Amino acid sequence: MSDSLKFVVVGLSHKTAPLDVREKLFIPESSVGQCLRRLVDRDLIESGVLFSTCNRTELYAMSRGESAPDRVLQSFGWWPHELSIETWRRYAYGLSDDEAIVHLLRVAAGLESMILGEAQVLGQLKEALALARQAGRVDARLQIILQGALRAGKRVRHETALGRRPVSVSHAAVAKCQDILGDVAGRGVLVVGAGTMSQITVRLLRNLRIGDVYLSSRSSERADRLAELVGGTPLEFDAIEDHIDRVDIVVSSTSASNHVFDAGTIRNLQARRAHRPLLIIDLAVPRDVAPDAGQVPGVHLFNLDDLQSVATINQEERQASAPAAELIIAEELARIRHALEAREAAPAVEALVRRVEGLRDSELDRQLATI
């Protein structure tokens, strides 16, 4: 890339950092624009996209100079986070140029996901690109690379078995429900928060003929909207205690910055249920449920990291499709390279065309003058 302009990837993921580290670096949508502006204003990057999910927080950016990856890694202090610099250095990574592009393509294809081939990541990447566009922080080069990644993700899902019979964190959550409770038919479910994974989990559970579904949120409007989407009874957050004896499964996925349920709260809820088995699926980052709540008698608590070991459905078929996905990634890498090279060459080609046209016009004028 011309003038030492490099594509870089900086961040950490479930492959390098445990959940308690990832949740401290999670960047909410409301902070993305401000963070990108800080990085651009300080000449750390020229353009960028911040991608923050429960499993990874990564910055995809264009930055100048041979030391671009190191410089962007050191820009950590301008990110909104709760990590110490020592923790960041321990778990973070920085990639550049082709290595960075291949990593992004693999992320979009689901090859870097906690569950191989997870479909949700492509939609999340689209949303991250849209947020960066809204902030005005996506230049033409970065657009080419990100669009190539989205294209690769779509191809992998349509052209390989990696996109068939999807297995996501939500599928893993449902499998865990069956492992602990057996037949979930008729079991009551409480959903706290309006997160996408919660919605998917409820829809999957409905296929297993669950019983009543209660939908709770700090916002009654959100609870009503979620009830329309997945069906169920909206419930004021303060009314959870009065209904907890009717449920055996709690799925929590809020955007709260602190624990929604501490151990004391769960202990009180369990007392109302006579300590019957209660399965709590915590899909939030940061976590909604305090880890020590899992020690309350009768409680089975699982967070996102716990669910990784559950997701074995269709994994052999998906693993067998990985080589085909890698071929698509190689093709899309070549396509991105060509597009970037064509963009870099365009000014020179235009200048050459203008020069040739000028010479032609001059020669034509000379010929006409001799007539």
Question: Catalytic site residues?
Answer: 54
Token code pair at residue 197: 């994974």
Cα separations (Å) of 145 from 16, 22, 62, 148, 364? Answer: 24, 25, 10, 5, 44
Q: Under a CB-based contact definition with an 8 Å cutoff, are residues 111 and 325 in contact?
A: yes
By CB atoms closer than 10 A (0-12, 13-18, 19+), residue 183 is exposed
What strands, in cross-sheet order, belong to the sheet with 93-96? 47-52, 56-64, 5-13, 93-96
Cα 4 from chain centre: 29
How far apart, in whole angstroms, are the C-alpha atoms of residue 244 and residue 179? 21
- DSSP letter at 289 equals B
Instruction: Identify the residue whose tokens are 């996408």.
Output: 196
How far apart, in whole angstroms, are the C-alpha atoms of residue 259 and residue 108? 30
| Dihedral over Cα of 42, 46, 52, 57: its sign | negative
In sequence order, the β-bridge partners of residue 6 are 63
By CB atoms closer than 10 A (0-12, 13-18, 19+), residue 252 is buried
DSSP assignment of 151-200 equals: HHHHHHHHHSGGGSS---HHHHHHHHHHHHHS--TT--EEEES--HHHHH
Q: Which of 144, 152, 167 is nearest to 108 (CA)?
A: 152
Of all helices (H) and strands (E), which one includes residue 338? helix 315-369
Q: Under a CB-based contact definition with an 8 Å cutoff, are residues 202 and 251 in contact?
A: yes
